[in-house]
Amino acid sequence: MNYESFRLASSPFIQLYNMYPVIHPLPGPHHRVLAYQDNLKAFFRKIFIQHRQILDENDYCSYIDAFLNKQQKEKNNPSSHFHELNLLCSVTNMFVAGTETTSSTLAWALVIMMKYPEIQSKVNEEIDKVISGSTPRIQHRQMMPFTDAVIHETQRFTDILPMGLPHETTADVSLKGFFIPKGTYIIPLLRSVHRDKAHWEKPDDFYPHHFLNVDDKFVKREAFMPFSAGRRVCVGETLARMETSLMQNFSFLPPIGMTADDVDISTCGGLGLAAPPIKVWPLPRFHDP
């Protein structure tokens, strides 16, 4: 359900719907997306009931428990932010943002590895040299600049959220001669940065050297913002460990009957960009003990 909702959200119609919600009464995939959201929220409401039944103020087992305990302590505070709607929105946002974006990025990474077997081979060589058969750790990352560059380039090229997420100005702002009043609905077009020729040598191609200097050392790029701009917690560390572990243990090939040339990695506009529904042949890799 989560993948299908994200796939539908990647369609041009949903992009149009987000810009012009007045078209809501018209038939279209937005009704299915909203229905999926309602089902997800109903599921979480059942979870909240279960947690309330066994709630222990001295034992917090999850974010939900901590929130419910705080809600109980502030039940007589009419201005408290710890109410049911906030809990529902917070948990839903964490679930959607923490699962589908990560899984979609991983799916895109596997598709790209099938498309460019020479890049995949180079990643495998670097992983074997640095990690061998051990468990990937964060400290390995700085010793694998090419692998790190491939991960970052996957996030830049695929642009999972090309339009970012809607924001609202909290104060009057002047930007490059334009006045933006408080309360203005803002949609940041992140793709305009990730495909800007002024910042990227080959903006429309998958090119890991965007993140490597002349000495093949990893370099950060100011124009890299897959998680939007401003103060955000980057999930890149977790994503890097997951992708490295997959590449350490498997090689990813197109299904029988397909070649690398048949793999399509073209993307189009939308709220989100789900990876194409293509079969992947994972071939186990063997390491020396």
Position 67 pLDDT exceeds 70:
yes
The share of the chain scoring above pLDDT 70, in percent, equals 88
What's the rounded Cα separation, in Å, for the pair 129 and 125? 6
Position 238 pLDDT exceeds 80:
no
What's the rounded Cα separation, in Å, for the pair 211 and 221? 7
Q: Both tokens of residue 194?
A: 């990730």
Spans of all domains in the chain: 2-284
The amino acid present at 48, given as its one-letter code, is: F
Ranking 6-20, 169-183, 221-235 by mean pLDDT, the lowest is 221-235
Per-residue confidence (pLDDT) for residue 101, from 0 to 100: 76
**Cβ contacts of 98-101, under 8 Å, gap ≥ 24:** 98/235, 99/2, 100/2, 100/3, 100/5, 100/6, 100/272, 101/160, 101/161, 101/235, 101/272
Averaged pLDDT of the chain: 85
Per-residue confidence (pLDDT) for residue 241, from 0 to 100: 63
CA nearest 190: which of 156, 221, 216?
156
Helices and strands of the chain, counted as H and E runs: 9, 6
Per-residue confidence (pLDDT) for residue 288, from 0 to 100: 47
3-state secondary structure of 141: helix
3-state secondary structure of 178: strand
Overall average pLDDT of the 92-99 stretch: 77
Half-sphere exposure of 266 (CA within 13 A, CB side): 4
Greatest extent of the chain over all pairs of C-alpha atoms, in Å: 66
Q: Both tokens of residue 135?
A: 């468990």
Position 165 pLDDT exceeds 80:
no
Position 275 pLDDT exceeds 50:
yes
Per-residue confidence (pLDDT) for residue 219, from 0 to 100: 95
| Length of the chain measured in residues | 289
Q: What angle separates helix 30-53 from helix 12-19, to the nearest 10 degrees?
A: 80
Query: What sign for the dihedral angle of Cα 240, 246, 247, 253?
Result: negative
Regarding predicted confidence, which is higher, 159 or 120?
120
3-state secondary structure of 54: coil
Per-residue confidence (pLDDT) for residue 289, from 0 to 100: 43
Please, where are the H alpha helices in 131-230? 145-158, 191-194
CATH topology for 2-284 is Cytochrome p450 (1.10.630)
The amino acid present at 234, given as its one-letter code, is: C
Per-residue confidence (pLDDT) for residue 233, from 0 to 100: 46
Q: What are phi and psi of 218, to 5 degrees?
A: -70, 140
Beta bridge partners of 82: none
- H/E stretch holding 82 reads none
